[in-house]
Amino acid sequence: MAEVVGPRLYSCCNCRNHISLHDDIISKAFQGRNGRAFLFSHAMNIELGSKEDRHLLTGLHTVADIHCGDCRELLGWKYERAYEASQKYKEGKFILEKSKIVKENW
């Protein structure tokens, strides 16, 4: 009998709340506050912090921190606005730090 497996997910490292689907990864070549990070097109079960302007490696961006909707663990940020034309593709996307997420259903 075949085992039924759901979609591959990323979950909060602290409470295992589902945060994003593997299929929503745009890039694994990003830098977070504490090391490697992934850029996702969508995130779920999160809470957004206040918008603020930050000078990141690729220039000035308006971002909002994202926290787990269950345990409030800081997971990364959402790009709200990019001021450089070459960075506009990030708008509306999510950075999740690799150290803050775990794989599920792999």
What does pTM read for this prediction?
0.91
In this predicted structure, what is the pLDDT of residue 2?
Answer: 54
**8, 72 Cβ separation under 8 angstroms:** no
Radius of gyration of the chain (CA): 14
Task: Tell me which residue of 7, 18, 23, 31 sits closest to 68, measured CA to CA.
Answer: 18
Tokens in use for 61? 């961006």
pLDDT of residue 106: 81
Would you write out the chain's pLDDT as a tens digit for each of its 106 residues? 555 577 999 999 999 999 999 999 999 999 999 999 999 999 999 999 999 999 999 999 999 999 999 999 999 999 999 999 999 999 999 999 999 999 998 8
Report pLDDT for 3.
58
